[in-house]
Amino acid sequence: MVKLPHSFAMTTDNPYRALPSVDRLLADERLRPLGGGERPVVTQLVRQALETARGAVSAGRPAPTQDQIVESVLGLAEDVFHPTLRPLINATGVIIHTNLGRAPLSEEAIAAMAAVSSGYSNLEFDLEAGERGSRFLHLESVLQQLTGAEAAMAVNNNASAVLLALSALAHDREVIVSRGQAVEIGGGFRIPDVMRQSGGRLVEVGTTNRTYPRDYQDAITPDTVAVMRVHASNFRIVGFTETPGIDDLARLAHEHDVLLLDDLGSGCLLDTTQFGLAPEPTVQESLAAGADLAMFSGDKLLGGPQAGIIVGRSELVERLRRHPLARAVRMDKASIAALTATLLHYLRGEALEKLPVWRMIAAPLAEVRRRARRWARGIGPVAKVVDGRSMIGGGSLPEESLPTKLVAIAGDGAYVTDLARRLRRGDPPVVARIEKDALLLDPRTVPSRQDSTVIQAVTAALSE
C-alpha cells in the first residue's frame, strides 16, 4: 500500500482545503489592476467569490481552481466598477422614448452642464450684491421672454411642479378637475394620488368623455380654490367627446374668483401642425388665454433636461418659492445650466437646427430614405428598406407619428428576438423594435454621425 503525503490526504479528506486563501488570491497578478488588498472592495469581492466556491463544494461539486475563482472575481469587479447607466443608440423610431432617457440634449446644453460642473458657480450667489442669491432666478428671465409670464421657476420634474403648486395653493381646499382628466401618468402616478398627497381635495366633474362648462360652475363652492386642466398627453379619447377650451375655463374660473391651473404635460413652445402633426397646446397659448399658472416638462417636446417648469402670476410663483417643498424638489446646477441653454435656442430662433428632438421631427423623408438605403447596403442583402412610421412618444402627441423609412431584417420570431438581444448586448448597445417577424431599425432617431456604428453593430450581431 502506497502511503500518500500528509498534505494530499488532508486535501482529499477535506475538499475545502483545495480553495486558495484570501491573501493568495489578492496576490494574484491578474487582480493587481483592481488595487488588491489596498482597496477593501476588492477584498470583499474575493471573499464573495470564495463563498460561492464553498457553496459549490458543499453541493458536492468539485472545488473551483484558482483560475476559475480569479475569473469570478474579475466578473464581479466588472459589475461593480462599471456603471449600469450607459449610452446607447435608439433605433426604435420613438423620438421621445421614456425608457431610453427621453430628449437627448443639444451640444450647447451639454457644454453648459460641463462648464458649471467643473468648478464653482454662482448657483445661489448674487455677484452684484456679493451676498446669497436664489437658484430660481437663473431661468426666470428667459422663460418670461419666451412665454410672456410674469414670473417663472423650475423644479426637478413636472410631477413635482404639480405637487408643489397644489401643496402651496390648494391645501385643505377643493380643486375641480374633469373626470376625463383624472389621468395616470408614467410609473403609476395618478392625479388623484398627487392631489391627495398635496392636501388638496379633488372634485371630479362631468363624465369620462364629456364635460361642459356648467359642470365646473355647478361644482364651485366657497371651499373651491382652483379649476385645473390636465392635458391628456399620453392617451386620446375619440368619438362622442366634449371638453371646454382653456379660454372657457379661464373665463369661468375668474368670474368665480378661483384660480386656473394648467398642467400641460409635455410643454410645447412651437406649432406642431407645421410638421403635419396634431396641434399640441403651447405654453404661450395657455398664459394668453388666462391660466394663472402653467406647468410642463423640460425633457419632452421642449428638448431639454428633466425638469418641471412653472410659469404664471408673480404672486403665485413667489408663494411656491417660499413653500418648504420647493427645497426638496429643486433643480441642481447642471440641470439649470442645460435647461437655460435649451431655452436660449428658442429665444434665438434656432430650436429646429440645434435641438435633437426637433431635428428628428423636422427631418425630411428624403433624408431618412437616403440613410436607410445606406444602412441596408452596408448590412447586406438580408436588409430591406420598407415604409414605416416614427412615433413622437414620451407622453407627447398621443397616437401621432411621422412617415419614415425603416431597415427591416426578416426572420421567424425566435431569430429576430435573438438578433435584437445581440444588438442590445453590443458596445454600444443598439435598441431596435420588432414587428411581424422582422427586426426594424429607424434612422430618424439615430444621429447621422452614428450611421457607421449602426451598420457595424448589425453586421457583427448577424455574424455571431
CATH code for position 160 = 3.40.640.10
Are residues 364 and 329 both part of a single domain?
A: no
pLDDT at 193 > cutoff 70: yes
Domain that holds residue 15: 6-81
Q: What pLDDT, on a 0 to 100 scale, did the predictor assign at position 10?
A: 45
Position 35 confidence tier, pLDDT thresholds 50, 70, 90: confident
Position 195 confidence tier, pLDDT thresholds 50, 70, 90: confident
Assign residue 435 the CATH number of its domain.
3.90.1150.180
Torsions phi, psi of 191, nearest 5?
A: -55, -45
pLDDT at 374 > cutoff 80: yes
CA distances from 237 to 188, 296, 405, 433 (A): 19, 21, 29, 26
CA distances from 411 to 203, 216, 422, 430 (A): 53, 55, 15, 18
Q: What pLDDT, on a 0 to 100 scale, did the predictor assign at position 189?
A: 66
**SS3 state at 308:** strand
State the amino acid at position 175 in one-letter form. V
| pLDDT tens digit sequence for 315-351 | 999 999 999 999 999 999 999 999 999 999 999 999 9
Q: Of 10-14, 38-42, 435-439, 452-456, give the range with the top mean pLDDT.
A: 452-456
Residues 419-448: what's their mean pLDDT?
Answer: 96
| pLDDT tens digit sequence for 264-321 | 988 899 999 999 998 899 999 999 999 999 999 999 999 999 999 999 999 999 999 9
Q: Is residue 429 part of a domain?
A: yes
Torsions phi, psi of 247, nearest 5?
A: -65, -45
- Chosen domain end from 328, 354, 380: 354
Given a contact cutoff of 8 angstroms between Cβ atoms, the answer to whether 358 and 104 are in contact is: no
* Residue 444 CA neighbour count, 13 Å, CB half: 30
Are residues 254 and 387 both part of a single domain?
A: no
Are residues 339 and 273 both part of a single domain?
A: yes
Given a contact cutoff of 8 angstroms between Cβ atoms, the answer to whether 93 and 372 are in contact is: no
Q: What pLDDT, on a 0 to 100 scale, did the predictor assign at position 186?
A: 60
pLDDT, the chain, mean: 91
Q: Is residue 62 part of a domain?
A: yes
Cβ neighbours for 11, distance < 8 A, ≥ 6 positions apart: 17, 18
Are residues 233 and 333 both part of a single domain?
A: yes
Are residues 115 and 142 both part of a single domain?
A: yes
Q: How many CB atoms lie within 10 A of CB 210?
A: 15
Task: Tell me the pTM.
Answer: 0.88
- Ramachandran quadrant class, 155 (left: phi over 0; alpha: psi -120 to 50; beta: rest): beta
Are residues 24 and 110 both part of a single domain?
A: no
Q: Is residue 138 part of a domain?
A: yes
Position 152 confidence tier, pLDDT thresholds 50, 70, 90: very high
Position 371 confidence tier, pLDDT thresholds 50, 70, 90: very high
The residue count for the chain:
464
Written as one string, the DSSP assignment of 88-99 is: -EE-SSBSS-GG
The residue among 274, 266, 270, 267 whose CA lies nearest residue 347 is: 270
Are residues 29 and 124 both part of a single domain?
A: no
Given a contact cutoff of 8 angstroms between Cβ atoms, the answer to whether 309 and 161 are in contact is: yes
Are residues 192 and 318 both part of a single domain?
A: yes
| pLDDT tens digit sequence for 215-258 | 999 999 999 999 999 987 656 666 677 788 999 999 999 999 99
